[in-house]
Structure 1
């Protein structure tokens, strides 16, 4: 089936990035396989993360089908675009249907994008993961590719006014070496390893980020442990 929507959307986004002179740095894109199914799993700090995560697949000439909440598909403008790009609607009250749709896409050799945290991390740290990405990769026996994005929260994130016209913002995209889970693998261990790898990529992106807050009021986009004013991450109960 011809791709009538996705390529023009990508072209429009790239043109917008050039106008804004976003300073996009990407590393590790060679880890996205050039053929066959794969799951891309990234941290989540912005409403725009899926756009930048998708850029990581361009060197491999792949299009990523992202799993996104149903409300986006219900939007009068966003909905037709999401469906045209063949992204996967997630209804949290009927999660099995979206899970099966993602499995079918993987079996067709598609690349599926997932944010294992499920929602944006307002602390800008890596939250606990849902198990869907690991279960899909294990069941399909496809590579599970860890990713990290950083800087996108400065453009549009939860609880902050959009700054889509902000110029010269650095955005970092890092792709790590794939995990290759099998059906018999312990999914809890695979999930822990995925969390560890994504956390390491986020730490690297934060350490090497080429910009700093312009003043005290601009520290909101940094996590508390880096001296920012983002909320502290919620306490996680220890395992029994």
Structure 2
């Protein structure tokens, strides 16, 4: 397929990284295959994670097709960019369509990026994940590659103001060894193993980060930060979901 949009977007991102003197550390990039399909599975702590997870695939010369919620594609600015980069829209009311599009891309030799937690983790730990990444990898006969991102939450995350022009922010990107679930495997058990590997990589990224201050909002609670605990974060997510379900004031309800 023609790549008219993706290369300029990458160029703009690299220019921004240099201008902001961003300290990006990538380890394990050799684990991303140079040819053939793969499911790249990353943790999710920032609205910018797709940029940095995709950055991990640059040494392999790969472009990652990320699965993202349909609303991003409907936006007047981000929509044309997402479609131009051939990312995959996910309509949560019609998930089979997105799954089919991802399988087609994987079988065509593409790398498909998945944020298996579905939403940003407010606790900056790995939330429970769904088994979609495992099912895709098995159906397409391709490996899963776990990725951990750390530092991206300092730029833009849920419930915090954007600081896109913040300078000298370290960002760590760790790529784990491929995992190869097979037909006949227990998908839930494989998902548990995937989450454990992502958690291990994230813990390594957090504990080797250049800045480990105490009492800052962007550090998880178990490392001395003030981010919500996983339990508190889950309660916040539940309250947010409930608020979305409630009708707008004055909206009629069907009895």
TM range (shorter): over 0.9
Written as runs of structure 1 = structure 2, the 5 A alignment for 1:41-190 is 41-190=41-190
Instruction: Report the secondary structure of 1:177's partner residue.
Output: coil
Q: Deviations over 1:133-166 (max 9, x none)?
A: 1110011110100110000000000000000010
TM-score under structure 2 normalisation?
Answer: 0.89
The alpha carbon displacement at 1:212 in A equals 3.2
SS at match of 1:172: strand
**Pairing 1:226–2:228 present:** no
Q: Distance in 1 between matches of 2:142 and 2:200?
A: 22
How far 1:7 sits from its partner (Å)? 0.5
Q: Which structure 1 residue ranges, 4+ long, deviate > 6 Å from structure 2?
A: none
Report the TM-score when normalising by structure 1.
0.95
Q: What SS does structure 1 have at the residue aligned with 2:59?
A: coil
Partners of 1:220 and 1:96 in 2: how far apart?
A: 37
Kindly indicate whether the alpha-carbon contact (under 8 Å) linking 1:68 and 1:87 is maintained by their aligned counterparts in 2: yes
Name 1:196's counterpart in structure 2. Answer: 196
**Greater shift in the superposed pair: 227-236 or 25-34:** 227-236
Cα contact 1:138–1:185 (8 A) shared by 2:
no
Aligned equivalents of 1:7, 1:78: Cα separation in 2: 16
1:81 counterpart SS class: helix
Q: Distance in 2 between matches of 1:94 and 1:182?
A: 26
- 1:176 and 1:13 map into 2 onto residues whose CA distance is 24
Displacement of 1:227: 1.0
Partner of 1:129, secondary structure, is: coil
Q: Using the TM superposition, give the Cα deviation of residue 182 of structure 1 relative to its aligned residue in structure 2, in angstroms.
A: 1.2
> Greater Rg, structure 1 or structure 2?
2
**Can you list the C-alpha shifts for 1:159-216, whole angstroms capped at 9, x where unaligned?**
0000001000000000000001112211111111101110000000000000134x75
State the SS of the aligned residue for 2:62.
coil
| Contact 1:42–1:147 (8 Å) recurs in 2 | yes
Check whether the contact 1:106–1:140 (CA below 8 A) recurs between aligned residues: yes
**Unaligned stretches of 5+ in structure 1?**
none
CA distance, structure 2, for counterparts of residue 130 and residue 93 of structure 1: 16
Give the Cα–Cα distance (whole angstroms) in 1 for the partners of residues 231 and 105 of structure 2.
34
Query: How far apart are the structure 1 equivalents of 2:92 and 2:53?
Result: 22
Residues of 1 paired with 2:66 and 2:184: CA distance? 26
